[in-house]
Amino acid sequence: MKLDDKMVKSLNEQINKEIFSAYLYFSMAAYFDSLNLDGFAKWMKVQSKEELSHAQKIYDYIYDKDGTVEMDKIDKPAKSWDSPLSAFKEAYNHELTVTRSIDDLVDLAKEIHDHATENFLQWFVAEQIEEEANTKKIVDTLEMIGDNKTALFMFNGQLGSRE
Ligand code: FEO
């Protein structure tokens, strides 16, 4: 069954949000590289790629359901933050907004009885649990680290091992 026009529009908006997420995290990677925190930067680069794969997943689904993908302009992300902690707080808050956006899509799918899209979106519902937990864990660790430079550099090494 072909997708409802409203659903195609909302899924395209979600593609835009995922690409903005990639752009935001790429900008955070650049901020961390500017501080020589290469492990933090690596983590953000991997995350940025993951966001693009989320956009791709929705893109493929729209075509599987005979819809049309349409790109919109991407907002400009911030380029610097007060501290690694403030960058990760923003990343965590951003993930909360993405979760709300996925929830809204699920609500729409339910409202128009689009069972296929509701089922497709369950992958994103589960993924958001992980996205929130990962960023929150880093926020908590950075709060514990505080001004301890040695601990920050050790954590930098740990984050750099993300594949
Ligand atoms: Fe694609 Fe980080 O949510």
**CA separation (Å) from 69 to 11, 96, 141?**
9, 25, 39
Is the pLDDT at 1 greater than 90, yes or no?
no
Q: What pLDDT does 56 receive?
A: 98
Beta carbons within 8 Å of 145's beta carbon, 6+ residues apart: 151, 152, 155
Q: Give residue 1 CA to ligand 1 midpoint distance, Å.
A: 27
With beta carbons less than 8 A apart as the criterion, state whether 131 and 25 touch.
no
* Closest by Cα among 84, 79, 14, 101 to 51: 14
Distance CA 147, CA 78 (A): 24
Cβ–ligand 1 contact at 44 (below 6 Å): no
Cβ–ligand 1 contact at 98 (below 6 Å): yes
Q: Which residues of 114-147 are buried (b: 16+ CB within 10 A; e: fewer)?
A: beebbebbeebeebbeebeebbbebbebbeebee
Tens-digit pLDDT profile for residues 35-51: 999 999 999 999 999 99
Cβ–ligand 1 contact at 14 (below 6 Å): no
* Atom 1 of ligand 1, residue of closest alpha carbon: 51
Q: What pLDDT does 105 receive?
A: 98
Cβ–ligand 1 contact at 51 (below 6 Å): yes
Please, how many CA atoms are within 13 Å of residue 104, restricted to the half-sphere of its CB? 13
Q: Give residue 160 CA to ligand 1 midpoint distance, Å.
A: 20
Superfamily for domain range 5-73+81-159: Ferritin, core subunit, four-helix bundle (1.20.1260.10)
**pTM for the whole structure:** 0.96
Helical axes 149-159 vs 115-145, angle rounded to 10°:
150
User: 104 is written with which tokens?
Assistant: 């809204």
Q: What pLDDT does 5 receive?
A: 97
Beta carbons within 8 Å of 86's beta carbon, 6+ residues apart: none
With beta carbons less than 8 A apart as the criterion, state whether 25 and 44 touch.
yes
Cβ–ligand 1 contact at 54 (below 6 Å): yes
Q: Give residue 113 CA to ligand 1 midpoint distance, Å.
A: 25
Cβ–ligand 1 contact at 118 (below 6 Å): no
Tens-digit pLDDT profile for residues 85-137: 999 999 999 999 999 999 999 999 999 999 999 999 999 999 999 999 999 99
